Amino acid sequence: MKFLLLLSLFLIFQFSYSVYGATDIWKMGNHFLEFTKDESQNILISKSCDNRKCDALKILKIISFKKINSSKLEGGKNPGSILCTDIAGAQIIYLRDLNGNDNSFCQFKDQSMVSASTLSTFARKNDEK
């Protein structure tokens, strides 16, 4: 029983990321959206992913560059955008921070979002394993 409990705890930690960090605001028009910025893991993700298993968090476990061909990136396209549309099958949303910087985010069916660069980061982490 104890073993099973330990095993399930191990599996929970193994197959999910937990995000803790500062709150960041990104906006689209009048929509003000809250994000968690976890510097230690290099994650920028919807605040709603803090306490539930959202799609944006799940994809970080499996995203990979392996199926992306260099030709897809001609002209210096943002690799995170290509991962979002071609691998994750999600949609890109453009948001702007309160200083006017642009950033693209990947939005999933459950509406959770993660920055395109977080996708690139985790694709690389996963491919290095």
Partner 1 sequence: MMKNNLTLLVIIMFFNLLLNRITIASDCSDMNNQEIIRLDTEGGPLYQSPVQDQDGIGTCYANATSIALKTALPGQPDLSYLQLAINYAQKNETPKNKLNGVDSAFKSDSGPGEVLINGGYVCDTIKATQENQNGVCKRNDVALENLLFNSSASSFHDSAMLQNKIIQATSEYYDSVKNNLVPGAAVEDISHRINRMTKQQQKFKKAIEQRQKEYTKEFCSKPDISIAESVTKNIIAKIYLHLKNKGISASNLSRVKNPLDKKLFFFTLSSGNPLSSDGPDSEVIISLPKDTKDFLLKNYMKQMLASPPPISAQAVYKNIIKDMTPKLDPEIYKAFFEKISPSDVSILEKDFSRYVKRDIDECAEKNKLAYYNNLDGLVKDFSGMGCEAYKKQSISLNKLSVLLSDNNLSSLEQLNNYITNIPHLSYEEALRAITAPNCNNSNKIHIPSALTCVNNSKSYTQVLEQYVYDHHLKTQVEVNVLVKNAEAAERTRVSAAFDAEIVAINVNPLYLNKIDKESIEKKNSAIKTAEDKKKNQLKEVTATIRNVIMKSLVGAETETALWNNYKESNKNKFRSDTLTRLKNSKQAITLSICTRVFDDQNATALRDGSCQKDSSLNNKYASVGGYHAVTVTGAKCLNGKISYLVQNSWGDWNQIKETKNADQTQHYETEFGKAWFSEDELINNTFNYQNIDFKK
Closest separation between CB of residue 10 and partner 1, Å? 23
Where along the sequence are the contacts to partner 1 (CB under 8 A)?
Answer: 28-35, 42, 44, 46-48, 51, 54, 64-82, 84-85, 91-96, 99-104, 107, 110-113, 115-118, 120-121, 124-125, 127-128
- Residue partners of 23: CB distance under 8 A and separation at least 6: 34, 35, 36, 37, 47
Residue 10 or 128: which CB sits closer to partner 1?
Answer: 128
> Is 123 in contact with 65 (CB distance < 8 Å)?
yes
Of 97, 104, 50, whose CA–CA distance to 77 is shortest?
104
Closest separation between CB of residue 42 and partner 1, Å? 5
Residue 13 or 94: which CB sits closer to partner 1?
Answer: 94
Any bridge partners for residue 42, and if so which? none
Residue 2 or 129: which CB sits closer to partner 1?
Answer: 129
Calculate the CA 96 to chain-centre distance.
17
